[in-house]
Structure 1
């Protein structure tokens, strides 16, 4: 396995990047400015070349220089902390040490074109970070759920009580069909954190004795039983209004990944056991 480049090798990489890029410049150039931004496989490389007339003009980067910039970024990864997502290198003729400014790993560089969520998800896969070193903007861009506030995970009410005959009561506004589909998709997207091999009885259809999924899912902020999605799908019963409000606030987009510590907190909220 190759070892990541050390400081001397990093400086050598910067020198190589400059050599590759300046080799394609016309005589008399005064300055070469390189702006590199990356998130996972999403890469942007912008060049500005100042010619003899003092006017900076954009230029196309050499593919080898782009590759070396990626090697440099990978080599500066620090376990648990991540690596930078943006850098600015400035080269000038006769200047032995180019100017190099690396954006702090907790800051988002000004991307020319916003990377898709998969770019930021790949970023966290390629360069893993400890929970405390994933800034809010990166968590949001990657579609990750925020850590539960104060370590609390909420659980919903399945219905609003029972009538005199023991049948469940519903005192909630029904969801429009289109929104119900979005809510169902969100509920079904949460990872299962607890499951039984058997199903339970349907409280709204007593003849269905083996119909309701006996599992729990979570998005890191809420933990809900399979009955919530089942009753919405089968009987049009809207979920707990607070859970619906939460899903709406997230624009019906479930987190791409729920961290293991958040799953542990959700499981503790269900079982009452400490994580």
Structure 2
């Protein structure tokens, strides 16, 4: 395989998912309650697991039929987008009498491999499904043995702009409890986002801790510090609530972190520090 095949239309993708379900259904005894197949690949390295919920309600693991594995590979190749790559991990769920559910991971996310593929697997991945340099995430560059891509320095706000500050939550309900109305993070992103939030330079620190808005019994739990990457400044509560309660940060901050390829600067300029302090204290410059 030297070139990815032409893209599959949505109806062709749906038909392949249906065929995969038909093959899997044919390999299990009647009366099954659910079939869940997980597929992970990097180049020629392929992992596939089938979890069958039997009539007694107990899940059992089986190796999926080779034809189903082959069709999953066809589906993955057919969903390749030039310059962007294709997904490396997917989960398909089949329930009797219901349409199948398919969750295809984003091309920049590393699936939870059972066995770490060798470097040649990731090298083949980039050869089979070429990506633009800026579309190769840091983890994939590292796995394939490629040198890190030089990052541009964080852009400083212009004279009429300010450093952005995130919303810690989206308001409160009638009882005064915080409300969250934002999409959850993919599990593979959580640690990378936390690393970014925790490693950017501290611009304001305190030895005291604040109350946990999601767990009022924790009176001294939330770090009272602020960090910045030059474009955004955020309180320690952002990382704390993600780590302790799974609260995703402000979607605009997440988009910024993804654009920075999850790599926080080790230092920021004095000018950026002044602007960030002004943003979090409300001072006018």
TM bucket (normalised to shorter chain) is 0.5 to 0.7
Structure 1 residues 150 and 102, CA, compared in 2 at 3 Å: closer, same or farther? closer
Q: How far has the Cα of 1:4 moved from its partner?
A: 2.8
Provide the C-alpha distance between the structure 2 equivalents of 1:93 and 1:148, rounded to a whole number of angstroms: 50
Q: Specify the alignment match of 2:12 in structure 1.
A: 9
SS in 2 for 1:58: strand
1:46 and 2:49 equivalent? Answer: yes
Give the secondary structure class of the aligned counterpart of 1:132.
helix
Matches within 5 A, 1:100-111: 100-111=102-113
Give a deviation string over 1:193-223, Cα, whole Å, max 9, x none: xxxxxxxxxxxxxxxxxxxxxxxxxxxxxxx
* Residue 130 of structure 2 is aligned to residue 144 of structure 1: no
Task: Indicate the residue corresponding to 1:84 in structure 2.
Answer: 87
Contact 2:7 2:81 (8 Å CA) reproduced: no
Q: TM-score, normalised by structure 2?
A: 0.51
Gaps of 5+ in 2: 154-285
Query: Aligned pair in 2 of structure 1 residues 25, 130: CA closer, same or farther (>3 Å)?
Result: same
Q: Verify: 1:33 aligned to 2:36, yes or no.
A: yes
For 1:133, the equivalent position in structure 2 comes to: 135
Match of 1:69 among 69, 72, 86: 72
2:262 is matched with none
1:37 aligned counterpart, secondary structure = strand
TM-score, with normalisation over the residues of structure 1? 0.53
Residue 116 (structure 1) shift: 0.3
Unaligned runs of 5+ in 1: 152-275
| Deviation of 1:24 (Å) | 1.2
The 2-side partners of 1:92 and 1:4 are apart by 28
Mapped partners of 1:129, 1:3: distance in 2: 16
TM-superposed CA distance for 1:149, in Å, is 5.4
Aligned CA-pair RMSD:
1.5
Distance 1:36 1:51 in 2: 21
Structure possessing the higher radius of gyration over alpha carbons: 1
SS of match in other structure, 1:109? coil
